[in-house]
């Protein structure tokens, strides 16, 4: 039984604090995987976030059958972790572009090719908007994270959150409009 499986079991048995232990583990694993992938892949190859999450799951949880609740916890952590990994990359890239903040330590020592550094302002903006949504309506923000960052389908995400598929679809519709409006507004504010 892996550390992560143990934590998932603990969460299932009602240990709410165990969830806090999960995120660092998953984050660590994802960061490692992302760095490896980027170093290995040929230039121009795309780095697929969802593939990373699934690979991380297999490494951390293994192939043992897990309940959807457990999986849900993992993927929630993974989505959050993935978001952090990517937002970190985006911030780093942005600061490199500006030529400032040279002291910032790269995420890893691998000689990451510039064109593999993903993302840009868009992702940072999305992150900000998601944080705001999370405060207002956590379930909807979680749904978006699961689908967008962990690559779950609408149905899987609904199961992971323990809501009906129809509700998940309604959440999704509203949340994506809400987020896009938020991003657009923030940009307008900034450019003013």
Partner 1 sequence: MINSSKSEEEIYHAALEEPPDRRSGYVRAACGDDLELLERVESLLKIREDGNNFLESPLFADQPLMSTPPEEKPGDTIDKYRLLEKIGEGGMAVVYMAEQERPMRRKVALKIIKLGMDTKSVIARFEAERQALAMMDHPNIAKVLDAGATETGRPYFVMDIVPGLPITEYCDKNRLSIKERLRLFILTCNSIQHAHQKGIIHRDIKPSNIIVTMHDGEPVPKVIDFGIAKATSQRLTEKTLFTRHGQIIGTPAYMSPEQAELSDWDVDTRTDIYSLGILLYELLTGTTPFGEEQLREAGYLQMQRIICEEEPTKPSTKLSTLGEALTDVAKWHSSSPELMPKLVRGDLDWIVMKTLEKDRTRRYDTASALAADVHRHLNSEPVEAAAPSISYKLRKFARRHRVFVVAGLFVVAALMVVAVVSAMYAREVSIHARESENARQEITGLLAGSYVDRAQALCEQGEVGRGMLWLADSLKTAPEGSSNLGRAIRTSLAAWHRQLHSLTTVVQYPDPITAVTFNSDGSRILVVCQDGTARLCDSVTGKAISRPLNHGSLIWDAAISPDGTRIATWGTDRLVRLWEASTMEQVAEPIQHQECWRIVFSLDNARLITAGRDGFRFWDAGTGKSLGKAFRYESEGVRAITCCADGVRAVIKVAQGKHQMFDVDRGEPIGPPVKHVNLGTVVISPDGMRFATCDGEGLIRVWEAATGGEALDPIVHGGGISALAFSPDGSRIVSGGLTRMALLWDAATGEPIGAPMRQRNTVRAVAFSPDGTRAVTGNQDGVVRIWDLIKRKYVGEPVRHQDELVAAAYGPEGLRILTETDGVVQVRDAATGKPIGKPFSHPGKIWRIAFSPDGSRLLTRKKGSADFIRLWDVETGEQVGRPFNKSPTRMTFSPDGSRILAGGHDAVARVWDAATLKCLGEFHQHRSSVFAVDFSPDGSQFLTGSFDGTTQLWDSATLEPIGKPLVHQSEVKDVAFSPDGTKILIGFADGTVRLRDLKTLKPIGTPLQHLKIVCAVAFSLDGSQLLACSIDQTARLWDAATLKPIGPPLEHDCWWPTLASFSPDGSEILLADPHGTAEIWQAPPGPLKGDYERIVCWVHVVTGMELDSTGGINVLDAPTWQQRRRRLNELGSPPGLTLSEF
Q: Are 150 and 82 within 8 A, CB to CB?
A: yes
The first and second tokens of residue 7, run together, are: 């934590």
Q: Using the rule CB under 8 A, which residue among 149, 159, 161, 168 binds partner 1? A: 149
Q: Using the rule CB under 8 A, which residue among 50, 55, 139, 186 binds partner 1? A: 50
Q: Which region among 3-11, 24-32, 61-69, 114-122 touches partner 1 (by CB under 8 A)? A: 114-122
Q: Is residue 122 within the footprint of partner 1 (CB under 8 A)?
A: yes
Q: Using the rule CB under 8 A, which residue among 33, 144, 158, 168 binds partner 1? A: 144
Query: Phi, psi (5° rounding) for residue 44?
Result: 90, -15
Q: Which region among 7-15, 45-53, 67-75, 99-107 touches partner 1 (by CB under 8 A)? A: 45-53
C-alpha to C-alpha distance for 108 and 88, rounded to whole angstroms: 12
Q: Which region among 22-30, 66-74, 105-113, 173-181 touches partner 1 (by CB under 8 A)? A: 173-181
Tell the residue number behind the tokens 């969802």, with chain if given: 50
> Which residue in 169, 161, 163 sits closest to 71, CA to CA?
161
Distance of closest approach, residue 73 Cβ to partner 1, in angstroms: 20
Q: Using the rule CB under 8 A, which residue among 120, 131, 162, 167 binds partner 1? A: 120
Q: Which region among 44-52, 55-63, 100-108, 158-166 touches partner 1 (by CB under 8 A)? A: 44-52
Binding mask 51-90 for partner 1 (x = CB under 8 A): -------------------------------x---x----
Q: What are the angstrom distances between the C-alpha of 34 and each of 9, 50, 191? A: 27, 11, 33
Q: Give the distance, in angstroms, between the CA of residue 81 and the centroid of all CA atoms in the same chain.
A: 5
The first and second tokens of residue 180, run together, are: 């896009």
Q: Are 78 and 53 within 8 A, CB to CB?
A: yes
Distance of closest approach, residue 16 Cβ to partner 1, in angstroms: 28
Q: For Cα atoms 20, 25, 27, give the angle at the middle one, nearest 5 degrees.
A: 95
- Contact positions vs partner 1 (CB under 8 A): 44, 46-50, 82, 86, 116, 118-120, 122-123, 125-126, 144, 147-149, 151, 170, 173-174, 176-181, 183-184
């Amino acid at each position: 039984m892996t550390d992560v499986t143990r934590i998932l079991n603990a969460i299932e048995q009602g240990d709410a604090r165990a969830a806090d232990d999960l995120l660092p583990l998953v984050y660590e694993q994802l960061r490692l995987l992302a760095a490896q992938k980027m170093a290995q892949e040929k230039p121009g190859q795309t780095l697929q976030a969802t593939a990373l999450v699934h690979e991380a799951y297999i490494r951390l949880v293994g192939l043992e059958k897990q309940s959807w609740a457990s999986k849900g916890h993992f993927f929630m952590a993974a989505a959050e972790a993935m978001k952090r990994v990517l937002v970190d990359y985006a911030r780093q890239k942005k600061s490199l572009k500006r030529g400032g903040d040279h002291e910032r330590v790269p995420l890893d020592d691998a000689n990451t090719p510039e064109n593999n550094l993903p993302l840009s302002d868009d992702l940072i903006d999305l992150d900000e908007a998601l944080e705001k949504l999370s405060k207002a309506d956590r379930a909807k923000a979680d749904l978006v994270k699961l689908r967008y960052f962990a690559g779950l389908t609408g149905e899987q995400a609904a199961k992971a959150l323990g809501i009906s598929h129809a509700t998940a679809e309604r959440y999704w519709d509203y949340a994506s409009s809400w987020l896009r409006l938020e991003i657009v507004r923030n940009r307008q504010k900034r450019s003013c």
